[in-house]
Chains A and B, each alone.
Chain A
Amino acid sequence: MMGLVVGLILLFAAAGMGQHLLQPKHRHQPEAFLYAVAAGLLAWGLFGLALGVVAGVSEKLCLAIAGLSILGWARPTVRLSPIWILPFSAAAILLSPSVWDVFGPIVGTDERYLHIGLPLQFLKEGALLGGPLHPNGSRPLTLQLAYAIGLSTPWKSAAAGLHWWLSVSCLALVIRMGHDFFGKHGVGLIAAATLALSTTILQEAGSAGSDLPAALAVLLTLNAALRQHHRATALCAGLALSLKYTTAAPLLGIWLLMPGDWRTRLRAATLCLLAVAPWWLRNIAENLHPLFPFAGWSEPSMAFQFVEKYGMGRTAIDFVLLPWRMIVEANPASFTFLGRLHPYALLLLLPFPLVLKQVRFRPWLAASVAGLIGWAAGPHWLRYLIPTLPILVLTGAAIAYPLARSRFTMGLLGLGLIVGGASGLKGYTWPGHATRKPSAGDQAIAFCNRVLGPDDRVAMLFAWRSSDLEAKQILGSVEDHNPTRHFLLANAGREVDALVQAGATHALVRNTRFLPKTYGFLGTDQFTREFRNPVRQLQDNLIMQADLLFRSHTHSVYRLPKPD
Chain B
Amino acid sequence: MRSAKKSIPLHLSVAVLLLLTIGLSQAEVPPSVYYAASNPCRNDAYPLVDKGTLIVCDKTQQPTLAFDPKSGRIESLGKPHRMGVQVPLQPSPRIGGRTAATSQVLVWETHGPGDDSDLWLQRIQAQERRGLDVGPGDQHHPVSSGPWIAWVDRGNIKLWNTQTDEKEIIKTKTGFHAPPTIHGNTACWEFRHIDDIDLRCSNGYHLDRPGHQTHPLLLDNLLLFRENGRLMGIETRLPSP
Contact = CB atoms under 8 A, between A and B. Distances in A.
Contact of B177 (A453, A548, A553): A548
B95 A450 contact: yes
Given A547-B176, A559-B115, A443 B42 contact: no
A447 B177 contact: no
A551 B44 contact: yes
B176 A550 contact: no
Contacts of A446: 95
Contacts of B95: 443, 446-447, 450, 550
B134 to A, nearest CB: 15
Interface string A530-550: 000000000010011011111
B111 interface: yes
Given A550-B96, A553-B43, A451 B115 contact: yes
Contacts of B153: none
Interface in A429-471: 443-444, 446-447, 450-453, 456
B114 A552 contact: no
B176 to A, nearest CB: 5
B98 to A, nearest CB: 11
Given A451-B115, A453-B114, A544 B96 contact: no
Contacts of A112: none
Q: Interface SS of chain A: helix, strand, loop or mixed? A: mixed
Interface string A482-517: 000000000000000000000000100000000000
A546 B42 contact: no
A506 B115 CA distance: 10
Contacts of A451: 111, 114-115
B183 interface: no
A507 to B, nearest CB: 12
Given A443-B95, A543-B212, A553 B44 contact: yes
A550 B93 CA distance: 13
B226 to A, nearest CB: 12
A551 B115 contact: no
Given A452-B115, A453-B114, A553-B42, A543 B214 contact: yes
Interface in B140-186: 175-178
Nearest to B115: A451
A549 B44 contact: no
B96 A547 contact: no
Contacts of A546: 176
A454 to B, nearest CB: 11
Q: Which of A549, A551, A552 is the most central at the interface, judged by chain B CB atoms within 10 Å of its CB?
A: A549
A540 B195 CA distance: 9
A548 B96 contact: no
A550 B192 CA distance: 19
A540 B177 CA distance: 12
A543 B197 CA distance: 8
Contacts of A506: 115
Given A443-B96, A543-B214, A559-B115, A548 B42 contact: no
Interface string B190-223: 0010011100000000000000101000000000
A559 B115 CA distance: 8
Nearest to A444: B96
A444 B94 CA distance: 12
Contacts of B117: 549
Nearest to A451: B115
A443 B138 CA distance: 20
A443 B96 CA distance: 8
A551 B214 CA distance: 14
A553 B57 CA distance: 14
A452 B111 CA distance: 11
Contacts of A552: 43-44, 96
Closest 6 CB pairs of A and B: A451-B115, A447-B95, A550-B96, A553-B42, A547-B176, A548-B177
Interface of B: 42-44, 95-96, 111, 114-115, 117, 138, 175-178, 192, 195-197, 212, 214
Interface of A: 443-444, 446-447, 450-453, 456, 506, 540, 543-544, 546-553, 559
22 contacts: A444-B96, A447-B96, A450-B95, A450-B111, A451-B114, A451-B115, A453-B114, A506-B115, A540-B212, A543-B197, A543-B214, A544-B195, A544-B197, A547-B138, A548-B176, A548-B177, A548-B178, A549-B117, A550-B96, A551-B96, A552-B96, A553-B42
Given A444-B96, A548-B178, 7 more contacts: A451-B114, A452-B115, A543-B176, A547-B138, A548-B177, A551-B96, A552-B96
